[in-house]
Chain A
Amino acid sequence: GAVVSQHPSRVICKSGTSVKIECRSLDFQATTMFWYRQFPKQSLMLMATSNEGSKATYEQGVEKDKFLINHASLTLSTLTVTSAHPEDSSFYICSARGRLAGGTGELFFGEGSRLTVL
């Protein structure tokens, strides 16, 4: 099946710094990418939807100035957590949908990135 890769898988940073997480579709072109956040023992919560070449659409309650999403190419989307604070510590997961996948409904997920802010 299609492969989506996230990097880094784990990152620890100091409070106030910014962290960038990459999400790449390795063997297909991802027209749409989704970013989720998962707290311990809780659901994956959709943060934003990004379409290649356009601005991301954020879910209600998600600060777009804090969580910057860029989908500059059909194989790469990035999530930047700006001025990170301990409450931003979480597991971030991306998923991607390809050009031809719309009819099947299948999303391909990355491995997730665990962010710890000290």
Chain B
Amino acid sequence: AQSVTQLDSQVPVFEEAPVELRCNYSSSVSVYLFWYVQYPNQGLQLLLKYLSGSTLVKGINGFEAEFNKSQTSFHLRKPSVHISDTAEYFCAVSDMNTGFQKLVFGTGTRLLVSP
């Protein structure tokens, strides 16, 4: 079984500052990794995903994440945040055996961007 840990429940940051949201996972098999964003009163939207290939994955809205197999991490980064990036961010994993059927989510990190 897989599990996902998002250590930071909330990350406050000033506008135009860089940010990193941490995600660590555990799994006995190879995995696919995802980051989703949830804006207030909206559904989850896929930011980016790692399936295979390059460990540095670029997503929408200027976000990127790097898959580090040795550290079992998939941290999300953005070099300069905007007020509009304020949202809840979820890291998720699914194992390659079940494909995309079952996503295991972390508890989420609330990004708070202030002027």
Contact = CB atoms under 8 A, between A and B. Distances in A.
- The CB with the most chain A CB atoms within 10 A, among B41, B94, B105, is that of B105
B109 to A, nearest CB: 11
Contact of B46 (A41, A102, A106): A106
A42 B43 CA distance: 16
A46 B93 CA distance: 13
Contact of B107 (A4, A41, A49): A41
Nearest to A36: B105
A105 interface: yes
A110 B45 CA distance: 9
B103 to A, nearest CB: 7
A43 B108 contact: yes
How many of chain B's residues touch chain A, expressed as a range? 20 to 34
A63 B9 CA distance: 30
A49 B44 contact: no
A107 B9 CA distance: 24
A100 interface: no
B87 to A, nearest CB: 13
B71 to A, nearest CB: 21
A43 B106 contact: yes
A6 B44 CA distance: 12
B101 interface: yes
Interface of A: 1, 4, 6, 9, 32, 34, 36, 41-46, 49, 93, 95, 97, 102, 105-112
Given A109-B44, A112-B43, 10 more contacts: A34-B103, A49-B101, A49-B102, A93-B43, A95-B44, A102-B100, A105-B32, A105-B34, A105-B51, A111-B41
